[in-house]
Amino acid sequence: MSRTPGTQDFAERPPWTRPGFVAAAVLVALILLAGLLIVVLAPDDDPADITDGPSPTSQPSASSMPVEGLPTVVPTTPPTGVRWELVGPMAVPVSDTAGPTQTTDTTASGFTHTPEGALIAAAQIMVRSSHALGRQRWEPTIEQQFVPSGDRDRLLAELRAVASEPTDPGSLSQIAGFSYQSYTPDTAVIGLVLRAPAASASRYHVLSLTLLWRGGDWRMQAPPGGSWLSVNRMTDNLSGVIEWGPR
């Protein structure tokens, strides 16, 4: 290492060449030797050449890994292998392939990272967050399976302010169909169709539900302002809807 500065000084200070031909020849030989040592030793000194394999930064990161393995094609027919079970007076779908895999007295979770999993999650979480099922069900469902936000907190506050009363099963809407409004592995927007009670049997509610993949499961995004009316519309027909529900 000490020879390199000397070599540079020799190149920059011509007076060093004045002692004569022999001295000049010796210096030239030293320059050549130093150059040879640099070529030979460079691979050991340069971190970039330590290995012939890819550097850590060239390996694919989690964010750049392909997601082709995750299904994104939404079903155009009702999911097969679904059975309907009662939660209180309301029916919810259960699938051996799409979930839920974990069910308690109050909540259901563990849905597959697929369009079918998002659909089953939308139906399960929406029904279980209904005020008609009682606080012992809707409160833990909203607290645990809704994405934390100010809208979620407002929804909880609104429901807590309303006294729970026994509900006539005939006055409750039941799932009648669905439509996928958009789907990516991170976000699913599903139109869940509910048949209005018998008094207005020709009417349907369409709730535009947004689910986000968070913490290894589908979670509901609370409606704007904590009000379901903001994502609800009424319709007289099921045009463009895949009919689906308990029979």
DSSP letters for 193-227: EEEPPGGGTT-EEEEEEEEEEETTEEEEPPPGGG-
Q: How far is residue 64's CA from residue 86's CA, in Å, rounded to a whole number?
A: 42
Phi, psi of 231 (to 5 degrees): -120, 15
Per-residue pLDDT, 168 = 66
Per-residue pLDDT, 196 = 85
Per-residue pLDDT, 69 = 80
The pair of structure tokens assigned to 189 is 């927007």
Per-residue pLDDT, 201 = 54
Residue spans of the chain under pLDDT 70: 1-68, 165-171, 198-202
Per-residue pLDDT, 163 = 80
The structural domains of the chain, ordered by start, are 3-58 (no CATH), 82-243 (3.10.450)
Residue 188 corresponds to which amino acid?
Answer: A
Per-residue pLDDT, 197 = 79
